[in-house]
């Protein structure tokens, strides 16, 4: 049992659920953040170390309330896994402004708001410090076709990670990023039927067990605060990433 506390956003499904359950299994006390309370309770599955907190990460007041709940329940925060995100397809020519703003609000502003509240809590607690792990995605490196909003925000997350890493030094806050390609979740089931490629073909793509992502997050989280994995890329070995395009 670690006795440490964590916040996982987007914890109601997919990678967020796998990561949250892995942290609970490792002895963390985990605040499960997401839009749907019922889904968060399914993730918790009755674990007394889990706290379900329905929240829209794009809402500053709701995010502040999430971290206030963590402080009141456990008194400190050791880890934030900034995982919440949306993926809205569209090319630069046809993505609506509303969909652009929704993507930016969730994928970028939401990560910033959660990181800001986490850093403030980590800065002021005793002992000081903690760790933030941002979910950047393979799209932080290379785009898929018709993904301008998602790709732009994920590239921006890399800049956010670097800035938090630099600013956090003063308060013993470490920040790293995990970039994930084709982990097997509900979101990637469609890849078995084929997804568009840059050359116009529709090709089935391989996936890998999402449990390996959770294991990678556990590794990053378990390091002492004087050691940091700045960027970690984990993908299906033969997915079209190296050489994409």
pLDDT in tens, 76-131: 999 999 999 999 999 999 999 999 999 999 999 999 999 999 999 999 999 999 99
Give the pLDDT score at 2: 64
**CA distances to 52, 153, 197, 239, 240 from 243, in Å:** 41, 22, 12, 10, 7
Confidence class for position 245, pLDDT limits 50, 70, 90: very low
Distances (CA, A) of 147 to 1, 162, 206: 41, 23, 20
Q: Is residue 244 pLDDT above 70, yes or no?
A: no
Token couple for 67: 């971290």
Q: Which structural domains are found in the chain, ordered by start?
A: 5-235 (3.40.50.720)
Catalytic residue among 74, 150, 208, 241: 150
Is residue 97 exposed (0-12), middle (13-18) or buried (19+ Cβ within 10 Å)? exposed
Is position 150 annotated as part of the catalytic site?
Answer: yes
Q: What is the pLDDT of residue 242?
A: 82
pTM of the predicted structure, to 2 decimals: 0.95
Beta carbons within 8 Å of 12's beta carbon, 6+ residues apart? 32, 34, 35, 36, 39, 40, 42, 43
As a whole number of angstroms, the distance between CA 99 and CA 122 comes to: 33
């Amino acid at each position: 049992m670690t006795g440490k506390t964590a916040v996982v956003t987007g914890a109601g499904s997919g990678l967020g659920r796998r990561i949250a359950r892995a942290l609970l299994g490792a002895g963390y006390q985990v605040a499960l953040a997401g839009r749907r309370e019922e889904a968060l309770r399914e993730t918790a599955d009755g674990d007394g170390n889990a706290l379900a907190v329905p929240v829209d990460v794009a809402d500053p007041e709701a995010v502040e309330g999430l971290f206030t709940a963590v402080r009141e329940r456990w008194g400190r925060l050791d880890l934030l896994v900034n995982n919440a995100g949306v993926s809205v397809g569209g090319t630069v020519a046809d993505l609506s402004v509303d969909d652009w703003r929704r993507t930016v609000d969730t994928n970028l502003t939401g990560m910033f708001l959660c990181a800001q509240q986490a850093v403030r809590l980590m800065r002021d607690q005793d002992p000081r410090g903690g760790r933030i792990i941002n979910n950047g995605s393979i799209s932080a490196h290379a785009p898929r076709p018709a993904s301008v909003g998602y790709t732009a925000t994920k590239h921006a997350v890399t800049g956010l990670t670097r800035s938090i890493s630099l600013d956090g030094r003063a308060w013993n806050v470490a920040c790293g990023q995990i970039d994930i390609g084709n982990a097997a979740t509900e979101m990637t089931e469609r890849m078995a039927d084929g997804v568009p490629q840059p050359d116009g073909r529709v090709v089935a793509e391989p996936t890998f067990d999402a449990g390996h992502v959770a294991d990678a997050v556990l590794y990053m989280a378990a390091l002492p605060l004087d050691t940091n994995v700045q960027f970690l890329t984990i993908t299906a070995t033969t997915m079209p990433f190296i050489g994409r395009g």
